[in-house]
């Protein structure tokens, strides 16, 4: 099976079986999505969804969070990974939104990555989920599954290279959904340590079956 055929089969499957897909994070505004995505780095969405209801009740807007101190926000996010750094980023990010963007979340990569704690992955999530743009965030799941299923070559050895390769091969109208299709496949089926190959609809042509191929 060629790489082009892999894309065709996998995308056709997801379109038919999954349809429109979006983040599992819970939010009600662009600001809340930005906070939740920032907090979700190296942490599960389930944990973030347990933390954010109280956080957002106390700090529902950028203006409210900008008026807080990091140690105050820390009380709400202690159970997430790297809570000290993330609480600081949240406050600094909120203050920049108020000072530079009138409290509104920008919609371009160039402006989003200026915000403290916001990298390209987070910027792409905001643009795709909130603004409906054809951006594709590459997290650990997307990176892993893209390689395991042979969607990208071994030379695509950075998240940015994977992103660019996927964008060249996924139709623009599928890009935002494809991020979540691949991510959720990695989260629930093609897991890092113990992939559930017996439940995978792509197992029959997984590269692991090829000579000298192995999961990585």
pLDDT per residue over 169-196, tens digit each? 999 999 989 999 999 999 999 998 889 9
Active site residues: 121, 139
Tell me the pLDDT band of 28, cut-offs 50, 70 and 90.
very high
Tell me the pLDDT band of 210, cut-offs 50, 70 and 90.
low
Tell me the pLDDT band of 22, cut-offs 50, 70 and 90.
confident
Q: In the predicted model, is pLDDT for residue 93 greater than 60?
A: yes
125 shares its domain with 42: yes
Last residue within a domain, chosen from 98, 114, 129: 129
The pLDDT tens digits for 145-176 are 999 999 999 899 999 999 999 999 999 999 98
User: Is residue 216 one of the residues assigned to a domain?
Assistant: no
52 shares its domain with 80: yes
Q: In the predicted model, is pLDDT for residue 215 greater than 70?
A: no
Q: In the predicted model, is pLDDT for residue 34 greater than 90?
A: yes
Last residue within a domain, chosen from 101, 129, 157: 129
User: Is residue 214 one of the residues assigned to a domain?
Assistant: no
Distance CA 16, CA 103 (A): 39
- Tell me what the mean pLDDT of segment 38-47 comes to: 92
Q: In terms of residues, how long is the chain?
A: 216
Containing structural domain, residue 125: 30-129
140 shares its domain with 61: no
Distance CA 95, CA 187 (A): 33
149 shares its domain with 198: yes
Give the three-state DSSP class for 59: coil
Q: In the predicted model, is pLDDT for residue 213 greater than 60?
A: no
Nearest-CA neighbor of 178 among 151, 196, 203, 216?
151
Tell me the pLDDT band of 57, cut-offs 50, 70 and 90.
very high
Looking at residue 205, its pLDDT comes to: 87
Choice between 213 and 129, residue whose per-residue pLDDT is larger: 129
User: Is residue 12 one of the residues assigned to a domain?
Assistant: yes
Mean of the per-residue pLDDT values for the chain? 92
Q: What is the CATH number of the domain that holds 125?
A: 1.10.340.30
User: Is residue 112 one of the residues assigned to a domain?
Assistant: yes
Say if residues 93 and 116 touch (Cβ distance below 8 Å): yes
Looking at residue 143, its pLDDT comes to: 94
Give the three-state DSSP class for 24: coil
User: Is residue 107 one of the residues assigned to a domain?
Assistant: yes
Q: What is the CATH number of the domain that holds 154?
A: 1.10.1670.10
123 shares its domain with 105: yes
Would you put residue 102 in left (φ > 0), alpha (ψ -120 to 50) or beta? left
**Which contacts of 115-119 are long-range, i.e. CB under 8 A and separated by 24 or more positions?**
115/34, 116/88, 116/89, 116/92, 117/38, 117/85, 117/86, 117/89, 117/90, 117/92, 117/93, 118/34, 118/38, 118/93
Total structural domains within the chain: 2
Nearest-CA neighbor of 51 among 21, 73, 84?
73
Give every CB contact of residue 179 below 8 A, 6+ residues apart in sequence.
124, 125, 128, 136, 137, 142
Looking at residue 211, its pLDDT comes to: 52
97 shares its domain with 159: no
162 shares its domain with 103: no
115 shares its domain with 39: yes
70 shares its domain with 10: no
Looking at residue 21, its pLDDT comes to: 86
Looking at residue 209, its pLDDT comes to: 61
157 shares its domain with 188: yes
Last residue within a domain, chosen from 71, 103, 129: 129
Q: What is the percentage of the chain residues whose pLDDT exceeds 70?
A: 96
36 shares its domain with 122: yes
Looking at residue 212, its pLDDT comes to: 46
Q: In the predicted model, is pLDDT for residue 214 greater than 50?
A: no
- Burial code (b: 16+ CB inside 10 Å, e: under 16) for 167-205 equals eeebeeebbbbbbbbbbbbbbebbeeeebeeeeeebeee
141 shares its domain with 199: yes
Q: Cα separations (Å) of 191 from 100, 122, 146, 202, 210? A: 40, 22, 12, 14, 20
């Amino acid at each position: 099976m060629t790489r082009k055929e892999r894309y065709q089969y996998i995308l056709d499957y997801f379109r038919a079986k999954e349809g429109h897909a979006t983040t599992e994070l819970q939010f009600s505004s662009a600001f809340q999505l930005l906070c939740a995505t920032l907090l979700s780095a190296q942490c599960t969405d389930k944990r973030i969804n347990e933390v954010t209801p109280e956080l957002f009740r106390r700090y529902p807007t950028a203006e409210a969070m900008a008026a807080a101190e990091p140690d105050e926000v820390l009380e709400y996010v202690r159970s997430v990974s790297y809570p000290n750094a993330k609480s600081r980023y949240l406050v600094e990010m909120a203050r920049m939104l108020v000072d530079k963007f009138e409290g509104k979340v920008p919609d371009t990569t160039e402006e989003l990555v200026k915000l403290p704690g916001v990298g390209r992955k987070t910027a792409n999530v905001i643009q795709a989920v909130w603004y409906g743009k054809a951006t594709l965030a590459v997290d650990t799941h997307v990176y892993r599954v893209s390689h395991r299923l042979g969607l990208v070559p071994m030379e695509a050895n950075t998240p940015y290279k994977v992103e660019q390769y996927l964008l060249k091969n996924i139709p623009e109208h599928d890009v935002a959904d494809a991020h979540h299709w691949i991510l959720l496949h990695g989260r629930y089926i093609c897991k890092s340590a113990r992939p559930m190959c017996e439940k995978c609809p792509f197992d029959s042509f997984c590269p692991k079956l090829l000579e000298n191929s192995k999961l990585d």
